[in-house]
Amino acid sequence: MPDDQLPRYWTPAFVEKFVDALNSSPKFQRAARSFSATIVLRCLDTPDGEDCVSKYSFEKGRCTTHSFEHEPAPSSRIRGAAFDKREALARTTAPYAVWTKLDRGEMNVAQALVSPDYSIEGSKLKIMRYIGVFTALGDVASSVQKRYE
């Protein structure tokens, strides 16, 4: 498929392909077989000049529901939304440039965690319990064919 026909990273088309890939990946299913929680990912300053938030709810490793919202950046609603630990296990926020470095393998999770541009909210103990799930999630996202610009 020509690059211009691939979904761009952090768009609704990418999210749909990502969810399909999560639910059809044997490796992810093995890693997440006991994972039932919601995670929230926020991306700031996409190439379209938007802030985005995607939510993924899992039941025993299967993504059962997901959503994607976007608004012109800087979005006070997206950036100012309080994190509700009753709603989600974790929420990660980073600019598009950091997400693309992670996706391309130019930055690892440890480097992201110490970056002032990357934040993760939620119980660190619970997040660490599922580090294998989060790693597999990133591996699946990286494997989805996409373009960045």
Sequence spans of domains, the chain: 3-141
Please give the mean pLDDT across all residues of the chain. Answer: 95
- pLDDT band of residue 2 (cuts 50, 70, 90) is low
Lowest average pLDDT, out of 1-5, 68-72, 88-92, goes to 1-5
How far from 78 is each of 53, 54, 64, 125, 142, CA to CA, in Å? Answer: 7, 11, 23, 26, 24
How far from 85 is each of 48, 105, 120, 124, 128, CA to CA, in Å? Answer: 30, 29, 12, 12, 15
At residue 112, the pLDDT reads 87
Contact of 49 with 73, CB cutoff 8 Å: yes
* pLDDT beyond 90 at 110: no
- pLDDT band of residue 109 (cuts 50, 70, 90) is confident
Query: Regarding the domain delimited by 3-141, which CATH topology (the fold level of the hierarchy) does it fall under?
Result: Nonspecific Lipid-transfer Protein; Chain A (3.30.1050)
The DSSP secondary-structure symbol of 74 reads: S
Q: Tokens representing 113?
A: 């965690």
pTM of the model: 0.94
* pLDDT beyond 70 at 1: no
